Structure 1
Amino acid sequence: MKMNQMVKRSLAVLLAVFMVVMAAACGNNDNNSGNNANSSGNSEAAGSEEKVSLNMWTWHPSPEVWEPILNKFYEKYPNIKVNVSVYPSLDYQQKVPIALTTGEDIDIVGVQATAFAAQIEPYLEPMDGLMKEYVGADWETKYDASSIEQARKITEEFVTAPVGSAGAMVIYYNMGILKELGLEAPQTYEDLKEIASVLKEKKPDVMPMAIGGKEGWTLDEVVLSLLGQQTDLYNDIRYNQASFNTPEYVQAIQDFKQMFEDGVMTEDVMDLDYSRSLEVFSNGQAAMFVQGTWESYLLSEPIRADKQIALEDVGLMAFPAVSGEGTPSIRSFIDIGLGVTQTSEHKKEAMDFIRFMTLEEGADMLGDQFIVVPSKVGYTPQAETLTSDEAKASYERMVELVQNPSADRNNLSSLSAIIGSELQRVILSGQDIETTVKNIQSEFETGKYN
C-alpha cells in the first residue's frame, strides 16, 4: 500500500514537471513563430512608478498596423507596455486554447467571432462587470447597438469587447471606367446590365465584374447577400438548423444564375481566386469587383496611392435586387473582438488598452485604415482619407449596411466551401437548382455543422 502511494506521488511529480516543461516549450515556440509588434513607446514611466507589461495574442491586424497604434497608446498610457504577438489565423485558432489551458502568461486575446470564441470562453473574464468598472455604468451607450447584440451572441456569457465589424458582399466600381463610357454610378440591377453591355461593345477586354469564383465561398456569400434582400432565413439556418430548401433560397440561386445569363458576371471569374480578382480590378481590367467591406480601403485615394493602385475614383454599393422587389443589404458581424483572461494579474491595465482600442484613438486608427467599421458611436474617418464625393457617399452607405445587416455573417466556413462547389456546378456544368439545393441540404443534415 505504501509502495503504491509512493509510486503515485512519484508519477504526480513527474507529470507536473512534464507539464511545466511543455508549457515553457509552448511559450518558446510561440515567441519564435509569432510576429511581434512591440514598440517601447515614446516616454518612460513617470517618476518611479513601475511600468506594467501586458501580453496580447491576436491574429489581426498585421504587425506593421499595430506599431503606430501602440506608439499612440504609449503617449496616453506611458506606464503600460503591450507585447502584441500576431499569428496566422489558423495557427492562432490552434495555439490559443492550448496556451490558455497550460497557463501561458496572456492578458488579452483577440476573439474571432466563430466557434473559436466559445472554445476559449471558459478562460475569459465576463465583460459586463469590467465595462461597468472601467468604462462606466452607461458603457453600452458608447457602442453601436448591433455590435453589442452580436458580441452577446457568440458566447454564453458576454466576454468579448467589440472593436469593429465588417460585412459581405459589396460591389466596388471603378468610376474612371464608368465615366469614360459615359455611365453614372450604378444603383439598380438594370445599371449593372448596362455596364456589362456597354463594356462588351466598347471595351471587350475589360471584365464587367471580378470575383474570386475559384474559391467557392465567395459565391456562397453572393447568394446569401441576394437571399438577405428578402428574408433573414440565414440566421434561422445558422442558429436553429432551419432548412435551405425554401422558395427564398431557390430564388436567390436563380438570381445568382441570372447574373451570368445577363453577362453581369462571366464564367471567366471561375478562374480567379481572391488575390487575382482584386488584382484584376486594381489594374483596371474589371469595371467592378465583389468582396467584403474589409477591402473598403479601395475608396481612399491616399491609401490607393500608397498601395500603388492607379484607379481614379472608386465607389461601393450593395447587391441590387435582381428580380422582384428586395432591400439591398449585406450580412455583417464583429470582425475583431478583445477579451481579458481570467488569469491576468493586470485587469485594470488590460481594460485601459481595450478602452483605447474600442472607444479611443486605437479604434479611430483602425477605422482610418478601413480595417473595420469601428463599434464606437460617433466615429468618422479623417477628411483626408476620403477625397471624392463618390467615396464619401459610398463610405456612409457602407456604414449603414454594416450597422443594419440582413443577417449575421457568423459563417460555417467548411459548409460555405461545399456550397460554393455546388454553385460552381450550376454555372459551369449546368446543374439544375433543385439538385443543388437538395445536395446542400443533405450535407447540412449530416450534423457536422450544428
Structure 2
Amino acid sequence: MIRNVKKLVAAAGAIAMSVGLFAGCGGSDNSGKDAGVGTKDNPVTLTFWTWQPTDAQWKGMYSAFEKKYPNIKIKWWRTSEMTDYQKKLQTSMAGDEGPDVFGIQTGSMVDEYSRFADDMGKLAAKDMPGWKDKVSNAASKQVTDKNDKLVGMPTITSGSEYILYNKTLLNENGINELPKDYNELVKDTQELKAKGLIPMALGAKDGWHLDDLFVWISNQYGEGDVYKAAEGKAKFTDETFVKTMKAWKKMVDDGIFQEGAVGTSTYPDARDNYFYARKTAFLPTGSWHVSAVLPNDETKGTKVEKDDLGMMEFPKVGDKDSGPTTGVDFALCVNKESKKKEAAMKFVQFMTTGEGQQQWVNTLQGAPVDKDVKVSLPSNTSETAKTSIDLVTKGQSASKLDRKLGYQELNDEIGVQMQNVYTGKTDVNGALKAIEQVNSGLDRK
C-alpha cells in the first residue's frame, strides 16, 4: 500500500545532502551473516531513526541500554517533524539505504512501511519469548497489517485531544478555575488575549495535528462515521462531516487560536516559543504532553520551569462527548535488509518489555504497552500533576476510538483542507468535496 513513493523519490536529491547520516544502515553489510550482539573488541553499531523519544528522554534510555549491552552501540537520527521523518525514511528505504531499526505509528504507516519491515512476530518468537503475555494484544493488532503481519513491536500509546495548561499563569491573570465547557474556554481565551497573551497556541502548520482534531470532532457528531468513510463505506460530504468542518470553522471564528496559526509548527513554535516562553496558558495537544507536568528536563531552563502545569481534556465542541481518541503512537520495526537483527531485537526488547519501557513511561511520553509496567512518579509531583496524570491514564484506557486513519493521502488532504477553511481559501462544502475526491480515489487493496 505504498502510495507516496513516486513523489517522495522526487525529494531524494535534497535528502541525499544528508548522506553522512546513512552510514552503517541496514543494507550496507553484504556479508549475509548476522553480526550478533558484538564483543568488546568488535562492537555492533545499530542505526535507529525516529521522531521520538525526545533528546532528553533518549539520553537516559541509551545510558541504561549501554550498561546492559556495552557491545551494542546505537547511532540515532531524530527529527521532531513527522513530515520530514517520513520523507527521509520512505526515500531511503526505497533505495535500500534505510536504518536497522525505525519507528512507526498506527494508521497509514503500518501498511505503508510493512514491505520494508521484517516480520516482528517471527523475530519476537525467537528473541522475545513470552512477549504475548506482556504486551497489550489491542496494541499489537493496531500495528498488524492487512496480511496479518506484525509490522513492528508496539512501545507506547497516546491520543488526543487534550490541553496542556499553565495553572500559575492562569491564576496570575484572574482565571482560577479551568473551563468546564467550550463556551467557558472561549471566554477564558479572550480574557487572556485582552491581557496581551496568546489565547491558545495551535500548531496548525502541522497536518497531523489537524487530522487528529478532525477525527476527534467528527466522533462527537457521528461516532465511528469517520472510520467508515475512510474505508469507502460513507462519504466525507455526509452530514457528520459538514457539522465537523463547521465546528472547526466556529473554533477559528471564535478566536480561540492565535493569529497566523497555519504558519505555526507545534515544535518548536507553539510549544517552545509560546507555551514554554509563557506567552500562552493553553497548548492544544495530545496525551504525550502530560510529561510536561512533571519536574524534568523537558521544561528545565524555560520560563515555565517553576510553574504549576496540568492537562485537561479539550471541551467537546459537538453533540456528544465521545472522549479522546487513542492509538499506538510508537512501534519499533526492524529493517528486513538489516544484517544486525539479533542486536536490533535486544534493543526492541529493552524498549518494549525492559528497562527502556519503564524509563519512557516514567516520562509520561505515552501509556505503556507492557501490562506489568506502572508509572513511577517523583516525590515532588504536584497535586495538579497527579490529577492530570490520572485523567489522561483513565481517558486513554477507556477510549475505543482510533486516533489515526489508515490512508496517508486522506490524512494529508484533511489537514490541507482544514488549513484552507482556517484561512478562508475555501468554504466548508468545497473542503469536504476535495477530501472526498481523494477518498474516492484511494487504493484499498
* TM-score past 0.5 threshold: yes
Q: Contact conserved, 1:297 with 1:369, CA < 8 A, in 2?
A: yes
* Matched AA of 2:283: F
Q: Contact conserved, 1:304 with 1:310, CA < 8 A, in 2?
A: no
Partner SS, residue 209 of structure 1: coil
Aligned with residue 364 of structure 1, among 358, 363, 366: 358
Partner SS, residue 46 of structure 2: strand
Q: Contact conserved, 1:183 with 1:195, CA < 8 A, in 2?
A: no
The alpha-carbon distance between structure 1 residues 285 and 64, as it changes in their structure 2 partners (threshold 3 A), is closer
Aligned with residue 92 of structure 2, among 90, 95, 111: 95
Unaligned 5+ runs, structure 2:
1-15, 25-38, 80-84
How many residues are matched? Answer: 406
Partner of 1:339: 333
Deviations 1:328-375 (A, max 9, x none): 212x33232223455666655443322111011111222233443332
Query: Equivalents in 2 of 1:380, 1:260: separation in Å?
Result: 39
The alpha-carbon distance between structure 1 residues 182 and 341, as it changes in their structure 2 partners (threshold 3 A), is closer
The alpha carbon displacement at 1:255 in A equals 2.0
Partner of 1:21: none
Partner of 2:177: 184
Q: Contact conserved, 2:334 with 2:341, CA < 8 A, in 1?
A: yes
The alpha-carbon distance between structure 1 residues 65 and 273, as it changes in their structure 2 partners (threshold 3 A), is closer
Partner of 1:257: 249
* Matched AA of 2:311: L
Query: Equivalents in 2 of 1:173, 1:396: separation in Å?
Result: 16
Aligned with residue 51 of structure 2, among 60, 65, 72: 60
**1:298-447 superposed matches below 5 A:** 298-310=292-304, 312-330=307-325, 332-342=326-336, 347-384=341-378, 387-403=381-397, 404-410=399-405, 412-429=407-424, 431-447=426-442
The alpha-carbon distance between structure 1 residues 366 and 401, as it changes in their structure 2 partners (threshold 3 A), is same
Query: Equivalents in 1 of 2:58, 2:157: separation in Å?
Result: 18
Deviations 1:126-180 (A, max 9, x none): 333443444334x323123431121224764113111112323322122113223
TM-score (norm 2): 0.77
Q: Which moved more, 1:262-271 or 1:359-368?
A: 262-271
Partner of 1:289: 283
% identical equivalent positions: 21
Aligned with residue 32 of structure 1, among 20, 27, 33: 20
The alpha carbon displacement at 1:327 in A equals 2.0
Aligned with residue 196 of structure 1, among 176, 185, 189: 189
Partner of 2:197: 206
Higher-RCO chain (CA-CA 8 Å, sequence separation at least 6): 2
Q: Contact conserved, 1:267 with 1:427, CA < 8 A, in 2?
A: no
Query: Equivalents in 1 of 2:219, 2:372: separation in Å?
Result: 27
Partner SS, residue 335 of structure 1: strand
* Matched AA of 1:135: M
Query: Equivalents in 2 of 1:386, 1:145: separation in Å?
Result: 34
Q: Contact conserved, 1:302 with 1:385, CA < 8 A, in 2?
A: no
* Matched AA of 2:227: N
Q: Contact conserved, 1:196 with 1:264, CA < 8 A, in 2?
A: yes
Partner of 1:141: 133
Query: Equivalents in 2 of 1:324, 1:283: separation in Å?
Result: 35
**1:160 maps to 2:152:** yes
Q: Contact conserved, 1:127 with 1:159, CA < 8 A, in 2?
A: yes
Query: Equivalents in 1 of 2:152, 2:425: separation in Å?
Result: 44
Q: Contact conserved, 1:170 with 1:316, CA < 8 A, in 2?
A: yes
The alpha carbon displacement at 1:269 in A equals 3.1
Q: Contact conserved, 1:109 with 1:340, CA < 8 A, in 2?
A: yes
Partner SS, residue 346 of structure 2: helix
Partner of 1:17: none
The alpha carbon displacement at 1:284 in A equals 2.1
The alpha-carbon distance between structure 1 residues 268 and 125, as it changes in their structure 2 partners (threshold 3 A), is closer
Deviations 1:167-212 (A, max 9, x none): 2332212211322314213342233133135435xx4312221112
Q: Contact conserved, 1:173 with 1:289, CA < 8 A, in 2?
A: yes
Partner SS, residue 121 of structure 2: helix
More helix, by proportion: 1
* Matched AA of 1:233: D
**1:222 maps to 2:213:** yes
The alpha-carbon distance between structure 1 residues 410 and 135, as it changes in their structure 2 partners (threshold 3 A), is same
Query: Equivalents in 2 of 1:347, 1:270: separation in Å?
Result: 42
TM-score (norm 1): 0.76
The alpha carbon displacement at 1:387 in A equals 1.5
* Matched AA of 1:91: K
The alpha-carbon distance between structure 1 residues 249 and 284, as it changes in their structure 2 partners (threshold 3 A), is same
**1:73 maps to 2:61:** no
Query: Equivalents in 2 of 1:32, 1:250: separation in Å?
Result: 48
The alpha carbon displacement at 1:326 in A equals 2.1
Q: Contact conserved, 2:110 with 2:143, CA < 8 A, in 1?
A: no
Partner SS, residue 208 of structure 1: coil
The alpha-carbon distance between structure 1 residues 446 and 263, as it changes in their structure 2 partners (threshold 3 A), is same
The alpha carbon displacement at 1:56 in A equals 3.5
